[in-house]
Amino acid sequence: MGDYDSFVAKFYTATGIDLTQYRQSQMERRLTTLRDRRGYTNFTHYLEAALHDADLMAELMDRLTINVSSFYRNPERWQSFGALIAKNREQNGVLRAWSAACSTGQEPYTMAMVFSEFMTLSQMEILATDIDPHALRVGQLGIYHSDDLLTIPAPMRGRFIHTLDPSQGRFSDDVRARISFKLHNLLSDDFPNHLDVVVCRNVFIYFTDDAKEKLYYKFSESLRPGGILFVGSTEQIFHSETYGLTQIAPFFYTKIG
């Protein structure tokens, strides 16, 4: 077994994260750069060191999980999303939504703000999951740097963000109460069901084609008939009908009823 393959096998045993389901060239390149920077010439020694050094392991996990996110990422898509959900939702019921691979929480908070334009907070239930516990902790706390909050429309900022000091703000208790942050591995854990909405953006790109296909089936099963799946900019689903999904607009699919 080669050095990288043996790292992948040992990493799986240590963390439960199966790197064989991530696109190898991209992942190996990312991890090699970090390994070299830390002065290791092979993955065997690097992992050995990381397993005995929490900081090194945290850095490795951080590199691997790629937590980049922002509020209202691709704002025009969020506008289309809001319009679709407002039209599609079952009146007066509670809207059950899932932000899958939510990173540090910007996506589920954006969902809550978008939904708040046409429903009360008590009418929404948002599940926000990720494989990275550190990222989830940030989301749970709901505290962000003021610069990061600037992409939120001013009226929403006024309504939902409390300024803590000039450099940071926190989402109000009422909106935080609508979002449950949970640890979840898309590649191995069970999926929730009867959902009205699934948002899964900017994570499919890291997975192999096989892994992606399995996810499309599982997301489709998670949705109620007529429910909506929102994917990332470079993550269009080809032959979506195969998975029981019909494209209704670029980046949006509905579960065939």
Ligand X SMILES: C[S@@+](CC[C@H](N)C(=O)[O-])C[C@H]1O[C@@H](n2cnc3c(N)ncnc32)[C@H](O)[C@@H]1O
The residue ranges that bind ligand X (CB under 6 A) are 65-69, 73, 101-103, 106-107, 130-132, 135, 184-187, 201-203, 232
- Can you state the angle between helices 75-88 and 106-115, rounded to 10 degrees? 50
CB of 140 to ligand X, least distance (A): 14
- CA dist list (Å): 11 to 8, 23, 161: 5, 16, 39
CB of 65 to ligand X, least distance (A): 3
Amino acid making up residue 197: V
For ligand X, give the closer residue by CB, 67 or 151. Answer: 67
Residue 7 in tokens? 């790292």
CB of 106 to ligand X, least distance (A): 6
Whole-number Å distance between alpha carbons of 105 and 161: 14
Amino acid making up residue 13: T
For ligand X, give the closer residue by CB, 139 or 169. Answer: 139
For ligand X, give the closer residue by CB, 86 or 183. Answer: 183
Q: Which residue has the tokens 């599982």?
A: 218
Whole-number Å distance between alpha carbons of 100 and 15: 20
Cβ(204)–Cβ(237) below 8 Å: no
Cβ(14)–Cβ(61) below 8 Å: no
CB of 70 to ligand X, least distance (A): 6
For ligand X, give the closer residue by CB, 67 or 88. Answer: 67
CB of 61 to ligand X, least distance (A): 8
For ligand X, give the closer residue by CB, 40 or 60. Answer: 60
